[in-house]
C-alpha cells in the first residue's frame, strides 16, 4: 500500500489546485499537511483527500516564536477534522506530541526512516507512522526513481512530497533556491519549471500514480492499525 503525503509549506492556491488536478486524473487519495489557512486545502474543499496539520516551530528554535500550544491549537481550529500531524522540518519534542494527543490527534508522521517499517504507539498514545521517501532528499541524492519491486506490498510505504516541488518539477537544489522568491507569482514561478517530461519531482509523482499500487490515506491506515492493535499493547 502506498500513502501519498503532501507538506503544503505555504504553497499558493494555484500550486495546490495544480496538484489536486493531477491527483484527480488517477483517482489517487492523498494526505495534505496544512501550514496555513487555504480555501483549497480545507476539510470541505478536498473531500477526496485527508487534511492534517503541519506546525512550524522553526522561529522557536531562533528564540522568536510563539508557544508551541498556540501554533498547534491555531491549526486545529482551522482544520478541526484533522487526525494527523507532521511537524515542519520534522522539528518537535515530547511536549508537542503529548499536546497533539490531548487535542485529539491520533497519529504523527514526522519520523523519516528510509526503510519500510511498522507503525507503533508511543508513550502519549499517538500512533507514529514513519515515512520512507522525501522528495527533497531524492533531489539531493539525484535519485528520482522508485523501485517498486523492492517494496513489500503488504506493508505501508509512505512518500512525502511538497506541492511547490511538484509544480516546478524540481530537479536540483539550485533550481529551488532560484524559484523560492516567486512562490506567489504564477507567471514568474512557471519560468523555473523543469520540462514535465524530464526527471524531477513531478515526473517521479506521475510515475508513482501510473503504477499498479493501492493508495491509502494515513488516517485510513491508522484507523486500521488501531482496530488491530490495542493501545494497551504499546511499549
Cα distance between residue 224 and residue 229, in whole Å? 9
pLDDT range class, residue 235, cuts 50, 70, 90 = very low
> What b/e readout covers 132-162, taking b as 16+ CB neighbours within 10 angstroms?
bbbbbebbeeeebebeeeebeeeebbbbbbb
Mean local confidence (pLDDT), 139-145: 94
Q: Write out the three cell numbers for 184.
A: 506567489
Please check the confidence at residue 234 and state whether its pLDDT lies above 60: no
Tell me the pLDDT of the chain averaged across its residues. 93
Contact present, 138 and 117 (Cβ < 8 Å): no
Q: Roughly what angle, to the nearest 10 degrees, separates helices 201-209 and 13-26? A: 30
Nearest-10 Cα torsion for 151, 234, 98, 85: 20
Contacts for 184 with CB less than 8 Å, ≥ 6 apart = 12
pLDDT range class, residue 45, cuts 50, 70, 90 = low
Q: Which residue do the cell numbers 522557536 mark? A: 60
Tens of pLDDT along 186-197?
Answer: 999 999 999 999
Residue 114 to residues 135, 137, 215, 222, 224: CA-CA distances in angstroms? Answer: 12, 10, 19, 19, 22
Please check the confidence at residue 44 and state whether its pLDDT lies above 70: no
pLDDT reported for residue 43: 61
Tens of pLDDT along 4-14?
Answer: 999 999 999 99
Looking at residue 39, what DSSP letter applies?
S
Amino acid at each position: 500500500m502506498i500513502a501519498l503525503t503532501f507538506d503544503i509549506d505555504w504553497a499558493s492556491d494555484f500550486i495546490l489546485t495544480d496538484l489536486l488536478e493531477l491527483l484527480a486524473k488517477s483517482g489517487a487519495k492523498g494526505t495534505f499537511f496544512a501550514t496555513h489557512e487555504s480555501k483549497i486545502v480545507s476539510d470541505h474543499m478536498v473531500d477526496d483527500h485527508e487534511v492534517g496539520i503541519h506546525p512550524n516551530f522553526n522561529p522557536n528554535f531562533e528564540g522568536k516564536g510563539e508557544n508551541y500550544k498556540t501554533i498547534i491549537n491555531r491549526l486545529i481550529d482551522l482544520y478541526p477534522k484533522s487526525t494527523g500531524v507532521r511537524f515542519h522540518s520534522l522539528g518537535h519534542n515530547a511536549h508537542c506530541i503529548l499536546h497533539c494527543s490531548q487535542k485529539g490527534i491520533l497519529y504523527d508522521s514526522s519520523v523519516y526512516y528510509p526503510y519500510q517499517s511498522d507503525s507503533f504507539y508511543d508513550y502519549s498514545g499517538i500512533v507514529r507512522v514513519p515515512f520512507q521517501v522525501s522528495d527533497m532528499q531524492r533531489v539531493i541524492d539525484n535519485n528520482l526513481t522508485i523501485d517498486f519491486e523492492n517494496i513489500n506490498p503488504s506493508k505501508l510505504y509512505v512518500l512525502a512530497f511538497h506541492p511547490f516541488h511538484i509544480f516546478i518539477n524540481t530537479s536540483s537544489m539550485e533550481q529551488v533556491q532560484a524559484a523560492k522568491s516567486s512562490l506567489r507569482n504564477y507567471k514568474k514561478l512557471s519560468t523555473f519549471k523543469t520540462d514535465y517530461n524530464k526527471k524531477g519531482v513531478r515526473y517521479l509523482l506521475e510515475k508513482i500514480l501510473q503504477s499498479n499500487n493501492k493508495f491509502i490515506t494515513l488516517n485510513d491506515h491508522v484507523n486500521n492499525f488501531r482496530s488491530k492493535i490495542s493501545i494497551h499493547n504499546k511499549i
